[in-house]
Amino acid sequence: MIADFFEYEFLQNTLYTGLLIGLIGPLLGTFIVVRRLSLIADALSHVTLAGIAFGLFLEKKYMVTFITPFYAGMGFSVIGSVFVERLRRVYKAYQELAIPIILSGGVGLSVVFISLADGFNTDLYSYLFGSVSAVSRNDFFSILVIAIIVITVLLLFYKELFMLSFDEEHAVVSGIHAKRIHFLFIVLTALVIAASIRIVGVLLVSALMTLPVAASIRIAKGFKQSILFSVIFGEISVIIGLVAGYYFEIPPGGTIVLTSVLILIITILYKRLKLTRLKRKAIA
Amino acid sequence: MSNPIVEMKDVSYTYENKHALDHINFTIQKQAFIGLVGPNGGGKTTLIKLLLGINKLQSGSIHLFGEPIHKFKQWNKIGFVSQKANAFNRGFPATVQEVVSMGLTPKVGYLKFFTKAHKQKIEEAVEQVGMSEYLHENIGDLSGGQQQRVFIARALVSNPALLILDEPTVGVDAENVKKFYDLLHHLNEKQQITLLLVTHDIGTMTHHATDIVCLNKALHFHGNPTEFTRLSEHDLSHFYGHPLNVVTHNH
Ligand SMILES: Nc1ncnc2c1ncn2[C@@H]1O[C@H](COP(=O)(O)OP(=O)(O)OP(=O)(O)O)[C@@H](O)[C@H]1O
Ligand SMILES: [Mg+2]
């Protein structure tokens, strides 16, 4: 069955795209987790859903094909990220308020577009939970471009983003342009979410960005190592999840996330084991 | 003496409903070691935040290294350890080396990477505060006093001319407080770093500082430690608003 992934073009597209999002999801996710923005990723994914619904609606009702659901989703996600920033600034002392506002706004818009289009069929289901067969060659190339952009920007601004994540006030005092860097970061987040949705689905996309990180920060020393472990865990989850999803005919979003949960449990147990062994040594 | 490093003229500051500083005139000369003391809420942190541009100047003027603060750009000349430095997220996965590297980030500049020489500087700064053996440990796994030293290394790594420390010895045990003052002494004497240190430990301060500054909304005293210890108890309790016992340690 793994051989199928090298034989059929649609599975190849899925596999390569999967490997890309297994890289950029946890890579950006490490920053998201340490900045305590995990839920913002969730909110943005629902805004992306609204964009996708909008794209599907245009396609179905007006035969518009140049704005594909993928691009519409990406557009909405980026616009949503700008709103998140605005709201976080308006509600300085209640920054988490941005999350329910954006999230419910996204769901509301989605519902409207879905009913305007008189509902969709299986397509929407695959957007919610991901699909092994939904990625076209074109999608793959768009996602490749996104991945290159994300990796380049993260490399170029790594040290500033790291500083900003650790202690925003200190970064500002040191003359880092916090607002601009943060804006760049949230737009990247929107792009990564849009890129990941075809495979893991709207409801589970934030899990791909946070679960591998949750596992990695239990055992890593330092930030770079956290990123490295997160990416390794992310890739393992994507590979196992895709193959299992294909084999059992389950949407890969489910299998990928369950694999990450499993990895998380293993790292927690591993840490426990190590601690008890250390304690025993200390007593002996 | 020529060109002071910091010059505050007639600076007042008010939070929304709280008057915090009142017509402060204050200069810091090169290579001074200033102990800034005063009661809780006396405005010490506010004064520092003004110097660092965190709080915007409302009235009066501030010059840093001869330049008016709104034109001042060389922020890497000023190292800062905040009162809240170790209020960071303890679960943050960053090694001592990574934390100290942040001190160089602004100096290295956008779109540039750390070089071997930078890494060398980072290791030297860590060594200077005696934390070399923890270089690759997570900062969250260290004790409060050790974390404090790492933050001092972060402030030192860019070779600042002025180092500002806001109550850095809170939560540090006696032996390490002594080591800490030895370190400051060394920085001040050997590396000609000007120091502004906020502390409640007046006794120790009088042994190390070149100047003591007493702040309680207004600036009540600025002079050398000998003058300060000669102040009568009456004067001191007037500054503090309550009686005060200065414990003078015998070193
Ligand atoms: N962000 C703020 N908003 C409103 N009022 C503030 C703020 N920060 C400080 N204040 C007020 O300004 C006054 C001076 O506070 P500041 O923090 O400068 O004192 P401090 O001398 O550093 O005290 P401590 O020794 O406790 O650190 C206090 O009365 C405080 O209530
Ligand atoms: Mg204070």
Residue B57 carries which side chain, given as an amino acid letter? L
Mean pLDDT for chain B overall: 88
Residue recorded with tokens 């000369």: B29
Pairing of strands B6-15, B18-28: antiparallel
Whether A215 contacts A229, CB under 8 Å? yes
Helices A205-219, A9-34: crossing angle, 10 deg rounding: 60
Q: Do the chains contact at B106 and A223, CB–CB below 8 Å?
A: no
For residue B199, give the H/E element and its range.
Answer: none
Q: Do the chains contact at B88 and A167, CB–CB below 8 Å?
A: yes
Task: Please give the structure tokens belonging to residue A212.
Answer: 């591998």
Whole-angstrom Cα distance, residue B226 to residue B247? 14
Q: Do the chains contact at B98 and A223, CB–CB below 8 Å?
A: yes
Mean pLDDT for chain A overall: 91
The ranges assigned to domains in chain A are 4-205
Give CA separation, A62 vs A48, A51, A212, B237, in Å.
Answer: 20, 16, 41, 81
Q: What are the residues facing B61 on neighbouring strands? A: B9
Q: Do the chains contact at A226 and B98, CB–CB below 8 Å?
A: no
pLDDT of residue B132: 96
Which of chain B's residues have a Cβ under 8 Å away from the Cβ of A167? 85, 88, 102
pLDDT of residue A97: 85
A223 to chain B, any CB pair closer than 8 A? The answer is: yes
Residue recorded with tokens 């810091």: B28
Q: Summarize the confidence of residues A96-108 as an average pLDDT.
A: 90
Ligand nearest to the CA of B17: 1
Read off φ and ψ for residue B23, nearest 5 degrees. Answer: 45, 65
Whether B118 contacts B90, CB under 8 Å? no
Q: Summarize the confidence of residues B83-111 as an average pLDDT.
A: 89
pLDDT of residue B243: 59
Q: What are the residues facing B68 on neighbouring strands? A: B63
Task: Please give the structure tokens belonging to residue A147.
Answer: 């991945």
Q: Which residue has the higher pLDDT, A5 or B196?
A: B196
Any idea which fold A4-205 has?
A: ABC transporter involved in vitamin B12 uptake, BtuC (1.10.3470)
Distance B45 CA to ligand 2 centre (A): 4
In this model, does residue A254 exceed pLDDT 90? yes
pLDDT of residue A56: 87
B17 to chain A, any CB pair closer than 8 A? The answer is: no
Percent with pLDDT over 90 in chain A: 60
Whole-angstrom Cα distance, residue A86 to residue A94? 13
pLDDT of residue B245: 55
In this model, does residue B246 exceed pLDDT 60? no
Cβ neighbours around A263 below 10 Å, total:
22
Which of chain B's residues have a Cβ under 8 Å away from the Cβ of A223? 92-95, 98
Residue A118, by phi and psi: left (phi above 0), alpha (psi -120 to 50) or beta? left
pLDDT of residue B172: 73
In this model, does residue B2 exceed pLDDT 70? no
Give CA separation, B8 vs A38, B1, B191, in Å.
Answer: 43, 16, 25
Q: Summarize the confidence of residues A228-238 as an average pLDDT.
A: 97
Whole-angstrom Cα distance, residue A41 to residue A32? 8
Ligand nearest to the CA of B14: 1
pLDDT of residue B140: 92
B98 to chain A, any CB pair closer than 8 A? The answer is: yes
Task: Count residue pairs from A and B with Cβ separation < 8 A.
Answer: 78
Q: Summarize the confidence of residues A27-37 as an average pLDDT.
A: 94
Task: Please give the structure tokens belonging to residue B130.
Answer: 């005696």
B99 to chain A, any CB pair closer than 8 A? The answer is: yes
For residue B219, give the H/E element and its range.
Answer: strand B218-223
Whole-angstrom Cα distance, residue A75 to residue A82? 11
Short-list A25, A24, A23, A34, CA closest to A164: A34
Q: Summarize the confidence of residues B48-66 as an average pLDDT.
A: 94
- How big is the CA angle at B216 (ends B210 and B221), to the nearest 5 degrees? 35
Which of chain B's residues have a Cβ under 8 Å away from the Cβ of A224? 98
Whether B10 contacts B25, CB under 8 Å? yes
Ligand nearest to the CA of B36: 1
Residues flanking ligand 1, CB < 6 Å: B 15, 18, 20, 38, 40-46, 83
pLDDT of residue B174: 81
In this model, does residue A217 exceed pLDDT 90? yes
Q: Summarize the confidence of residues A20-27 as an average pLDDT.
A: 96
Whether A70 contacts A145, CB under 8 Å? no
Read off φ and ψ for residue B7, nearest 5 degrees. Answer: -140, 115
Task: Write b or e for each residue in A10-27: b if 16 or more Cβ atoms lie within 10 A of its Cβ, otherwise e.
Answer: ebbbbbebbebbbbbbbb
Short-list A206, A259, A176, CA closest to A21: A206
Say what the alpha-carbon torsion angle B55, B61, B67, B73 is, to the nearest 10 degrees. Answer: 10
pLDDT of residue B251: 46
Q: Do the chains contact at A159 and B52, CB–CB below 8 Å?
A: no
In this model, does residue B249 exceed pLDDT 80? no
Q: Summarize the confidence of residues B190-204 as an average pLDDT.
A: 90
In this model, does residue A163 exceed pLDDT 70? yes
Per-residue pLDDT of B59-80, as tens digits, reads 999 999 999 999 998 888 999 9
Residue B32 pLDDT class (50, 70, 90 cuts): very high
- The answer to which of A109-113, B8-12, B95-99, B140-144 has the lowest mean pLDDT is B140-144
Which of B92, B162, B163 has the highest number of chain A CBs within 10 A, making it the mutation to test binding with A? B92
Short-list A256, A254, A252, A257, CA closest to A10: A252
Cβ neighbours around B14 below 10 Å, total:
13
B137 to chain A, any CB pair closer than 8 A? The answer is: yes
pLDDT of residue A10: 85
Q: Summarize the confidence of residues B212-220 as an average pLDDT.
A: 91
pLDDT of residue B66: 93
In this model, does residue B226 exceed pLDDT 90? no
- Which range, A114-123, A272-281, B49-58, is most confident? B49-58
Whether A26 contacts A267, CB under 8 Å? no
Task: Write b or e for each residue in A132-167: b if 16 or more Cβ atoms lie within 10 A of its Cβ, otherwise e.
Answer: bebbbeebbebbeebbeebbebbeebbbbbbbbbbb
Residue A216 carries which side chain, given as an amino acid letter? S
A226: closest chain B residue by CA: B93
Which of chain B's residues have a Cβ under 8 Å away from the Cβ of A176? 105-106
Q: Which residue has the higher pLDDT, A118 or B96?
A: B96
Distance B43 CA to ligand 2 centre (A): 7
Whole-angstrom Cα distance, residue B6 to residue B126? 28
B101: closest chain A residue by CA: A159
Q: Do the chains contact at A34 and B89, CB–CB below 8 Å?
A: yes
Q: Summarize the confidence of residues A89-103 as an average pLDDT.
A: 85
Whether A214 contacts A264, CB under 8 Å? yes
Residue B248 pLDDT class (50, 70, 90 cuts): low
Short-list B42, B67, B79, CA closest to B199: B42
pLDDT of residue A122: 64
In this model, does residue A127 exceed pLDDT 90? no
